[in-house]
């Protein structure tokens, strides 16, 4: 992930202000908010509520409830929303002319920008419509043979498990399920769980970078190293990790990586990414045929027909906003928010945390349950009695509500949530 000097950061902010990215806070307000804190460490800034209150002002949030379900779709800050509207208007103004001239050139610029923050080569990355489409491209495009085995976790995203079920029915693939403990002793425990499921027939492992229902961060690099020792490829579901925590795809060592951009990067709905290690591109069948016939070019796997190009155009704006805040500072704030509330309830015997408490094993997302209250009932009571919106999770070894704050979440809102948990745990 590219790093910027203080001088570069100042110029970056200035450029954004001049181009209208920072208009909602005013020309001086935005520059002041960032330049005053440019020397603050991520840890220091994470606890600076006044700074993050300034960020919150860039969002128009529904006042009816406290939203702690930001994992499905993240709100766009007004600077990005304004740029998105501009792009919609421009596409509507140019119409077919745009689609037949610079559409693909502009999309490639977005690919290059994404590859820089993802830590991979542009020729190994395509823009899709979401994580599901990206992963389905791989799962459905692998040259399967009858009896091939695929390993996945009960805690993986349901749509991906459904796709593996489909290839099982169609190609005779054997799906083998493991279960990831909510509180592993160490990385080796997780690696061993996947390792013990491998046989001579194992072809791929699907693994979540960040488990969507708990927020647990898995040791992807170690899993990949282990799998490759057994000639097994690794598909990584990074839906919740990308632009949430810092990492480099190249450093992970995985064979395939997929993510959604409408989650933590705050791109409008309809954008995702798919990384394929260069040597694997030729071995994947396209789900939809493309005019590109060179088997080594990833473009042949990226035919989606007419799609919302205004979303593609917004990707660089979202990246600019992400870089303005700073990846390290964003991650630190998200982790601080999670630890802020979990530290206040973790010792309550009636409150169950389904997410590891260790700093390196979680960031913003966590999952909490209350003894004697079913997850669906807990979610309903949080909304009805305390005006707190969450989502209930009740399968595998996870029984609770997923709690997903974001940069616009305040500690005061989390105080309300903590008090709600304490009240319900006494009932």
Overall average pLDDT of the 328-350 stretch: 97
Q: Tell me the residue length of the chain.
A: 427
Chain center to CA of 411 = 22
Q: Does residue 132 sit in helix, strand or coil?
A: helix
pLDDT at 52 over 70: yes
Output 187 or 27, whichever has higher pLDDT.
187
Percentage of the chain surpassing pLDDT 90?
A: 87
CA triple 346-349-350, angle to 5 deg:
100
CA distance 25 to 14: 13
Overall average pLDDT of the 132-152 stretch: 97
CA distance 326 to 274: 23
- The band of 36, judged by pLDDT with boundaries at 50, 70 and 90, is confident
Class for domain 96-318, per CATH? alpha beta
Q: What pLDDT shows up at residue 29? A: 55
Output 129 or 3, whichever has higher pLDDT.
129
Q: What pLDDT shows up at residue 37? A: 75
Q: What pLDDT shows up at residue 18? A: 43
Reported pTM: 0.93
pLDDT at 68 over 90: yes
CA distance 150 to 152: 7
CA distance 38 to 25: 17
* pLDDT, the chain, mean: 93
Listed by start position, the domains of the chain span 96-318
Output 38 or 207, whichever has higher pLDDT.
207
Q: What pLDDT shows up at residue 20? A: 47
């Amino acid at each position: 992930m590219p790093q910027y000097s203080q001088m570069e950061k100042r110029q970056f902010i200035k450029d954004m202000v001049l181009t209208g990215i920072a208009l909602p806070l005013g020309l001086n307000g935005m520059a002041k908010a960032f330049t005053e804190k440019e020397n603050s460490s991520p840890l220091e800034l994470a606890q600076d509520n006044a700074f993050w209150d300034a960020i919150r002002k860039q969002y128009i949030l529904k006042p009816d409830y406290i939203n702690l379900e930001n994992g499905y779709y993240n709100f766009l800050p007004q600077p990005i929303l304004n740029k998105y509207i501009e792009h919609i208007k421009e596409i509507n103004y140019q119409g077919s002319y745009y689609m037949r001239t610079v559409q693909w050139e502009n999309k490639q610029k977005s690919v290059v920008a994404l590859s820089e923050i993802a830590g991979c080569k542009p020729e190994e990355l395509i823009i899709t419509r979401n994580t599901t489409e990206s992963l389905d491209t791989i799962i459905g495009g692998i040259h399967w043979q009858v009896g091939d085995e695929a390993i996945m976790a009960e805690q993986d995203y349901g749509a991906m498990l459904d796709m593996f079920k489909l290839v099982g029915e169609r190609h005779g693939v054997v799906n083998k399920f493991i279960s990831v403990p909510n509180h592993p002793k160490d990385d080796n425990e997780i690696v061993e769980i996947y390792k013990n499921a491998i046989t001579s027939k194992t072809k791929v492992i699907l693994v979540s970078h960040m488990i969507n229902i708990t927020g647990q961060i898995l040791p992807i690099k170690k899993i990949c190293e282990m799998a490759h020792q057994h000639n097994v490829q690794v598909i990584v579901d990074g839906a919740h990790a990308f632009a949430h925590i810092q990492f480099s795809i190249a450093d992970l060592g995985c064979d395939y990586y997929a993510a959604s951009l409408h989650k933590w990067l705050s791109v409008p709905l309809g954008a995702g990414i798919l990384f394929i290690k260069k040597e694997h591109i030729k071995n994947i069948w396209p789900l939809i045929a493309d005019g590109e016939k060179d088997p080594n070019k990833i473009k042949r796997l990226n035919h989606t027909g007419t799609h919302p190009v205004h979303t593609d155009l917004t990707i660089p704006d979202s990246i600019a906003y992400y870089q303005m805040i700073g990846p390290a500072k964003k991650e630190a704030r998200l982790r601080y928010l999670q630890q802020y509330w979990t530290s206040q309830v973790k010792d309550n015997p009636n409150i169950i945390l389904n997410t590891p408490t260790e700093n390196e094993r979680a960031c913003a997302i966590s999952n909490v349950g209350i003894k004697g209250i079913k997850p669906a009932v807990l979610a309903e009571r949080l909304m009805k009695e305390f005006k707190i919106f969450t989502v209930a999770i009740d399968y595998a070894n996870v029984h609770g509500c997923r709690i997903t704050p974001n940069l616009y979440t305040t500690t005061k809102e989390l105080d309300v949530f903590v008090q709600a948990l304490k009240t319900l745990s006494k009932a």
